[in-house]
Amino acid sequence: MADDGRYVVCYDVTDDKRRLKIVKLLEGYGDRVQYSVFEMAISPDQLSELVEKLLGQLDAGADRATVYAICAACERRVIRLGRAADVVPGEEEVFIA
């Protein structure tokens, strides 16, 4: 959608049970690209909802999650290497030989 922003969410959750809940939560918003990294295109309302839910599930004294906003100009300059099928339409494709 035109109003959707792109975000990368990284997390470090110490407890296995809490980590599984965080993974399930993030799977509802985006795609897992690494073990503890998700990419997503979501609306501002969805972002607020996600942050609120993350806050409710994290142990602030033991866990960490970071949400990185990817601006439109930066999104066009994303470099993805490997599995070409994962390239998102509209993004700049860079091949390194």
Looking at residue 74, its pLDDT comes to 78
Per-block mean pLDDT, blocks of 10 residues, the chain (97 long)? 84 95 96 93 95 95 94 78 57 46
Looking at residue 29, its pLDDT comes to 96
Looking at residue 89, its pLDDT comes to 45
Q: What is the DSSP letter of 28?
A: T
CB 49 within 8 A of CB 25: no
Alpha carbons within 13 A on the beta-carbon side of 66: 6
Chain position carrying tokens 């295109």: 41
| Token output for 97 | 């030989």
Q: Is the pTM of this model over 0.85?
A: no
Neighbouring C-beta atoms of residue 9, cutoff 10 Å:
23
Closest of 9, 6, 97 to residue 53, by C-alpha: 9
Looking at residue 2, its pLDDT comes to 56
CATH code 3.30.565.10 for 5-86:
no
